[in-house]
Structure formats: structure tokens, C-alpha cells
Chain A
């Protein structure tokens, strides 16, 4: 099946494939904006069956014309640099963030420019790193913590759940903790076990945390600046398999945390997604468009606060919705979204809200991960099950 080529289990080929997908997605956003999405769709031609022979590989566009393009890693690096430069209270700390510049190079050059104390190489102790950050924030600093990988953040969970999330509340607003916790997350990079978890459900279930997950280069810059400027703790989930994707990019206005964005308008059904699954959804929408299905794609960007308004408007416009994320489905963010959409849009729905998620299994080994990850095929199969025959 074409899965093997669309999500290959190595870093370099995945990165280039996804870079292409992201560029295509940006183009699709522009194109889709003209389509509008007001009317209830007729059943698209061919919707009842699954036509075969559809190409679901790379959508082809590179979008590059030789002008400057910026990778997600570089945009994050620029956001950190700008924040360090503008606010002396901002301090970066984590494992290997100093001399090495981080295992993904997100903090590259920061220690050299701002000093080792502003970009601190810490001992290998995640609870300690976050606990230190709590103390620093209590004294008025604005720490930006890097957790090296999703699954490596688990030792810090007690500090996160019992202190970071609760300090403002338990002190009646007297001690806010403006801590940003950057977590590279998700799979698709051919990583060995414990390097590919999608841990967002743990965080969104913890009141007191904001949970942000950008999917584009521009959002990585803007939302990281917003996260660092926020007086609330923000878990900032970086889709690591998009780290090497690139876009035309200039640092621009900082978007508010908590606003979703419709990346592609459509009138058949609405795909609701975030982070690493956005390019996959845009690819699926491209593939569907070739068959006459016009899918809308909503990029949540922020899981907490959750933008009910944008999501519900997008669902009401199509009457059908599929939530797509990498994390296991049971008790996941998709379950919450399906419930919220059902509660708020019940009379607008022509079909139950469906989900395309990772299976309820530990993240698989690299050679099998493409079976686990939401794919264009699985998304389109699910769209086809949205009771079109009624």
C-alpha cells in the first residue's frame, strides 16, 4: 500500500515528504478560502463507494522558488532568541540545551549569545528541572523548560500536576507560574520506543495548564512567543516530525493562545486535528477534492483553552465531523472533542462524530508505526462512513 511511501520510517525521508505536505497545505488553505462553506453539501459523487486507484502519496508541491524558507526548528529557535533578548527574566533550561543546542537544535547558539546561565545545561533529572523552574518562577523569573522527548517528561509529572498546574489556584492568584514547558512529541520519525509518545491527554486533563500544539512554522514562532509571555503555565507540544518542514516565514504578530484556525474550507465534512496530524489531514483533503469531496480542515493549535466557537462553526457548516490525532483514542482528546461537538451541534449533525486515532496500544516499533498513525487512507475511509446514504 502507499502508506509505506507516504510515511516512511526514517527521519530524513519523512522530513522531506512532510515538508512537501506542509507547503501543499499552505497552498490548499489559500485555495480553500475561496470555496466558501455555507451550504449543506449534496452527497459527493462516488461517496458511497471507495474508488480505487487514487494516488495518496506526496501531493507534489514543494512551494519553493528559491526564496528564504524557514524550518520549524529555526522558527522555534528565533522565538526563544527574541524572547531572551527582550526579557531578562526569560531563562531556558533543560538537558543538552546549552553547548549542544538541544538534540533537535532548537536552542542552537542561545548559550553562546546569552550566556550559559540564560540557557542552562541541567543535570539529567526532569522532576528536578521542572521543580527548579517552579522555584525560579516563584521568584519572578520566566523559565522555558525543554523536556527532551515526550516520554522523558513523565518523571516531572508530579511537579506538573501538583505544583505547576495548581500554584495559582492554591495561592488565590498570588503566585502565578509563567513557565513554558516545551515537549517534542509524537511519532513518525522512526524513533525507538519512548521517543514517539503523544502525551497531550495527560496534560489537557490537568486543570491549570494551557496546552498548545502548533502545526506550522509561523504558529511555532508566534505561539511560542505567546506561551512565554503568558502568565499561566503552558505545555508547548512541538510536533517533532514536522521539525524539518519549512515555510516562507517572517516573525510576525503573536496570535492569542486559544484560537483554532480553519486551514481549508469545505462543505462535505470537517476534519478537526492538530499538531503532527495537520499535514496528513490536508493531504487527505487534497485527495478527497480530486474525487469531488470538499473537506474542511480545522487546526486546533490550542487544546486548552479549547476554541468551541471555531470548531462548532466549522462543524455546523458541514454537518459531519472527523477528529484526527495520533494519540490513542480511548479517553483521548478526540473523545472530548466528539462529546463537545455532539453536545453543541447535535441538531446540525447528519452522522455521529467519528475519530481517526492511534490504536489503544503502546506506540509501536519503527517498522510498524505507519499502521498506527492516522493516514490518508484511514481518514478517507472514515469520512466515507459518515452516513452519506441517508
Chain B
């Protein structure tokens, strides 16, 4: 018997504790096994209408990923980080939210944002190279796609906290707003993830974190990312409820996320949901996944593809036949055709006016920015005068387009006197 064994003996009153009454962590612990619906008795309990809607959206979502990947390969998008294989998470995340709720996506969550109702071309604007965020976050109640990992989780907590403050102070404000933050397995290692959960727990903010554990942070597998039993277990340390779900089981993800969102909405505190899924495609269209994972692993996960699993269940239970599949497939093809047409149409639109680069740095440009804007405008005028950058098909209202190819022309337009000299003489 060691001294530590002896110290565990009951009957002794310890020193006062800053913890307050002992709280049982058990209710916060995730389920021992991921929650599943498909292939269990629970499948029969799911509303058939919901299942059909999930299926329809999953098929369209898969087609969205395929089409965007193709567009990236063709050069219409600078890059595309696909969520192929994660469509159940993406679709469910959008479906469980009310219009007044907020979504905080990462860069891989373009499908979730599209499913929330934002037009695909606006969602993909970041990758099309025209602007950083193609939609109005306040109208869409969807934050910009976040490239810095897990930072958006803090924003979600802050927004949920603010919405509750507003609702208490202003009768006209939206009620019972919930924020849903989407994070990847790699993102859970970031400090901002830890801080977001810390704040969420302390503030009991109406926020839900959905961690899509797709197995890899670019090339690094989860085993190199964390030694935690599961990512859902991380919740417990923050006093947050953890849930573990099969991320490729669409009705299961929908059920767990719905419950989490309503739990937060009712004021019972934040929830961290880990959805175990798999990134069937490479990290992005620019990545080569064969350098870090075996094809056999990918094939094994394809057997658990969320789209085919739901389709198989619907067919086996007589809720879907070839005609139904053909109808949904046709809708997906029409959706993809519209995406292609919109991209082709967008390609005809000239790049944004370079003068707008200075418009939204501050509410009012500083005098320094006004000087720089004038300098750029003068260069653009010089280009026009020299017919250096006027495209043959430019109409009278076409804006000059500063393209990398035009850089040499711009350099040739360098004024003889530097701006400092001129302003000093003025």
C-alpha cells in the first residue's frame, strides 16, 4: 500500500476547495461507441420524409463537391478543398439550424454554407479569386469561411453570448439564437479551440462545436494529432457535454446535432460533437494524398460512404427505387450544370475594379490610403492611354483589369518623379 492509497481513505475533511460542490463528469462523457442509426432499430423510428430529404441533399452535395473539384482542375477555381465523404456532416449542420441561428464554417465547409442557402458562386468566390468572401455574413447569418484554424470557434462563442445579451436587453432582438462552429480534427489542437471551449463552458454560451474528424490534418493522421481517447472526450475538461457520432450516418448526425442545438438553445450549455468521418479526396485539389495514405484505407472507407449507406438503407426498406434514384440524380446533374453555367458566366465578368482595393480597409480611407489609391488610379489611366491593357473585347464601361501578365506594362508606366518629391513641391 502506497501513501497515495492511504490518502484515499474516507472520513477526512479536506481543505476548502475553489471547485465548489463536486460535479459528476459522467453526464458530460461521450457515448462509448459512436451513435448510429442506420443498421439499428432506431432507423425505423426516423421520419421517412426526413430520410428522403437527407438523401436528396446528400446526392446534391456529393455532386457539388465533384463539380467544384473539376472546376479547380480546369482552373476556374484557384483551389478547392473538397468535403467528399463528409457530406452527411455538411448537410446535417445546415439542416439543424434555424434561420436566426449562425453558422461558423472553416474553409472546407463550402457545402454546409451552400446547404444553408448561400448561392454556390458566392460561396466559392474565395476560390474564384474575385474577393475574400462572396456573401453577406449578416444576411446569411453565416461567418466568412475561416482559413485560420479554430479561430472561428471563439467567434461563435462570442456571437452566441452577444445574442443572449441582446435578447435580454432588447425585446425586438432574435430569441434563442444558437451558434454552430465547424472545426476539423487538426483544428482541435489549436489554442483557439481550447480557449473557445473554456469560454463556452464558463459563459454557458448557446453554442455547438461540430468536430468533423476526417482522419487527417492535410497529411498528419489523428494518431499524431492527439492522444485523447476521442476528440469528444476533450469536452469534459471544459464542463462541456461531449457527443460521439458516426459521421457517415446521415440520420445519426442529424439526430445528435439536432439534440445538441436544442440543448444549447434551451440554456443547458454548450455541446461538443465529434463526428467520425473520412476525407475521401485529397486535402485540396493541389494535394497528393498518395504520399501519406494507402489506397486500401481509402477503399475501406468508400464502403462506408455516407451517400451509398443511406441509399442502401432506403432501398432495403422500400423507401427508394430506381426511379427515385434517377430523379435525385437528374436533379443533381441539373444542379451541377447550373454551377458550370454560373462559373462560365462569372468568367465573363472582369476582375473587380482595382480601385476598390482601398475601399474597405477602414470606414474612411486614411490620407495615406487615398494617396496610394490615387497612385494606382494614375497607373491605370496611364495603361489606358498607352492602350497597354485594353482588351479587344472591352466595352466602353469595362474596367481595366490588372492581371499578373500586365505587371511589366505597369512598371513601364513609372512616373519620372517619385510621389515624395511631388508632394514636397506641391
Partners in one complex: yes
A26 contacts B by Cβ under 8 Å: no
Residues from chain A with Cβ under 8 Å of B368 in the complex: 305-306, 308
A322 to chain B: closest CB distance in Å? 20
A163 CA to B162 CA, complexed, in Å: 18
Contact of A138 with B133 in the complex, beta carbons under 8 Å: no
Query: Which one of B12-20, B194-202, B240-248, B321-329 contacts A?
Result: B194-202
Q: With an 8 A cutoff between CB atoms, is B3 at the interface?
A: no
Q: Residue on A with the closest CB to B143?
A: A138
For residue B363, CB closer than 8 A to chain A, the reply is: yes
Question: Which of B227-235, B305-313, B417-425 faces chain A?
Answer: B417-425
Chain A residues, Cβ within 8 Å of B199: 122-123, 125, 128, 132
Give A118-138 interface residues, CB cut-off 8 Å to B: 122-123, 125, 127-128, 130-138
CB of B151 within 8 Å of the partner chain: yes
Contact indicator A171/B137 (Cβ below 8 Å): yes
Residue of A nearest to B425 (CB): A347
Q: Does residue A207 face the partner (Cβ distance < 8 Å to B)?
A: yes
Minimum CB distance partner of B153 in chain A: A131
Do A132 and B136 touch (CB < 8 A)? Answer: no
Which residues of the other chain, B, contact A231 by a CB distance below 8 angstroms?
363
**Contact assessment for B133 and A170 in the assembled complex, using a CB-CB cutoff below 8 Å:** yes
Bound CA span A108–B195, Å? 26
| Residues of chain A at interface, number, CB under 8 A | 55
**With A171-B144, A346-B421 known to touch, is A127 a contact of B195 (CB < 8 Å)?**
yes
Q: Which residues of B contact A254 (CB under 8 A)?
A: none
Of B83-91, B163-171, B343-351, B378-386, the stretch lying at the interface with chain A is: B163-171
Contacts A162-B151, A173-B359, A174-B137 hold; do A343 and B179 have CB atoms under 8 A apart? no
Question: A168 is contacted by which of B169, B360, B367 (Cβ under 8 Å)?
Answer: B360
User: Is residue B148 within 8 Å, beta carbon to beta carbon, of the partner chain?
Assistant: yes
Contacts of B163 in A (CB 8 A): 139
Q: Which residues of B contact A176 (CB under 8 A)?
A: 363
| A306–B365 CA distance with the chains assembled, in angstroms | 12
Known: A135-B160, A139-B166, A163-B148. A123 touches B202 (CB 8 A): yes
Is B156 close to A, CB under 8 A? yes
**Bound-complex Cα distance A123 to B157 (A):** 13
Contacts A117-B165, A128-B199, A175-B138: A136 and B159 contacting too (C-beta < 8 A)? yes
A131 lies within 8 A of B424 (CB)? no
Using known A-B contacts A136-B161, A136-B162, A139-B162, determine if residue A232 contacts B154 with beta carbons closer than 8 Å.
Answer: no
A173 to B361, CA, bound (A): 8
Measured between beta carbons, the chain A residues less than 8 angstroms from B155 are: 131-132, 134-135, 138, 163
Q: Residue of A at shortest CB range from B365?
A: A305
The answer to whether B144 and A208 touch across the interface, beta carbons within 8 angstroms, is: no
Q: Known interface pairs A170-B144, A171-B137. Does A232 touch B362 (Cβ–Cβ under 8 Å)?
A: yes
The reply to whether the CB of B281 lies closer than 8 angstroms to some CB of chain A is: no
* Selected contact of A346 from candidates B138, B153, B420, CB within 8 Å: B420
Chain B nearest Cβ from A333, distance in angstroms: 14
A210 at the B interface (CB under 8 A): yes
Q: Which residues on the B side are within 8 Å of A135 (C-beta)? A: 154-162, 179
Q: List 9 A-B contacts (CB under 8 A).
A: A127-B191, A128-B195, A131-B196, A132-B154, A134-B155, A158-B151, A167-B144, A346-B421, A348-B424
The 10 A-B residue pairs with the shortest CB-CB distance, nearest first, are A135-B158, A131-B154, A343-B420, A128-B195, A170-B132, A132-B158, A135-B159, A139-B162, A305-B366, A135-B155
Binding site for B on A (CB under 8 A): 88, 91, 117, 122-123, 125, 127-128, 130-141, 155, 158-159, 162-163, 166-176, 207-208, 210, 230-232, 258, 304-306, 308-309, 342-348
Instruction: List 15 additional contacts besides A127-B191, A138-B159, A163-B148; criterion CB under 8 Å.
Output: A122-B199, A127-B154, A131-B196, A132-B157, A135-B162, A135-B179, A140-B162, A155-B191, A159-B151, A167-B144, A173-B360, A232-B363, A343-B418, A343-B421, A345-B424
